[in-house]
């Protein structure tokens, strides 16, 4: 009897959890569409390709990519980004050089080439699309906070 009660309570608990998760908007990506209905796919936005630097929101922010990177291969074989942004390539490309921190290993020892831990550019640097934010953002630039004081 006792074990039956426990299992019943568990089942009801899971059910309640599932219902609350569903109704409190956990399934935000579906935009509230019922699970059995196929929602209409949202519009795909174009990648910005203006070649104009964007302001960083805080000093350590990895700068966003101001151009298209379609089919730019970053693999063990090749890194298309570095063919413009590597130190030795910047003369010809006039692209900004990969920051010096990327040429350092974790003991801050400067290396001749980009450190393997910094090789996959798009782990931190991403392109941007001109789209309304999916979720509200309350971030305030530190400068604004300082000015407000």
Partner 1 sequence: MLTPFKKLWGMACWIWSHGNRPAKHLSIGFLTIGGFVAGVMFWGGFNTTLELTNTEEFCVSCHEMGDNVFVELKPTIHYSNRSGVRASCPDCHVPHNWTDKIARKMQASKEVWGKLFGTINTREKFLAERRRLAGHEWDRLKANNSLECRNCHSTTSMDITAQSTRAATAHQTFLFTGEKTCIDCHKGIAHELPDMTGVEGWK
Give the interface with partner 1 as residue ranges (CB under 8 A). 49-51, 67-68, 70-71, 73, 75-80, 82-83, 86, 88-89, 92-95, 113-114
Query: 64 with 126: CB under 8 angstroms?
Result: yes
Cα-atom radius of gyration of the chain, to the nearest Å?
24
Q: What is the DSSP string of 25-40?
A: T--GGGTT--TTS-PP
DSSP state of 101: G
Could you tell me the smallest distance in angstroms from the CB atom of residue 62 to partner 1?
A: 19
Closest CB to partner 1 among residues 27, 64: 64
Residue partners of 51: CB distance under 8 A and separation at least 6: 66, 67
Could you tell me the smallest distance in angstroms from the CB atom of residue 148 to partner 1?
A: 36
Could you tell me the smallest distance in angstroms from the CB atom of residue 74 to partner 1?
A: 10
Closest CB to partner 1 among residues 64, 83: 83
Query: 63 with 53: CB under 8 angstroms?
Result: yes
Phi and psi based region of residue 71 (left: phi greater than 0; alpha: psi -120 to 50; beta: remaining): left
Closest CB to partner 1 among residues 92, 136: 92
Closest CB to partner 1 among residues 37, 71: 71
Could you tell me the smallest distance in angstroms from the CB atom of residue 14 to partner 1?
A: 42
């Amino acid at each position: 009897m006792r074990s039956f009660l426990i299992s019943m309570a568990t089942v009801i608990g899971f059910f309640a959890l599932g219902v609350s998760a569903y109704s409190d908007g956990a399934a935000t990506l579906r935009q509230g569409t019922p699970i059995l209905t196929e929602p209409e796919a949202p519009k795909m936005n174009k990648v910005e390709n203006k070649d104009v630097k964007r302001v960083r929101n805080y000093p350590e922010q990895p700068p966003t990519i101001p151009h298209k990177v379609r089919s730019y291969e970053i693999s063990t074989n090749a890194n298309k980004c570095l063919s413009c942004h590597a130190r030795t390539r910047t003369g010809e490309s006039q692209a900004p050089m990969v920051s010096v921190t990327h040429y350092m290993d974790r003991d801050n020892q400067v290396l001749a080439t980009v450190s393997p831990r910094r090789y996959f550019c798009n782990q931190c640097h991403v392109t941007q699309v001109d789209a309304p934010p999916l979720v509200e953002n309350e971030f305030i630039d530190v400068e604004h906070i300082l000015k407000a004081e």
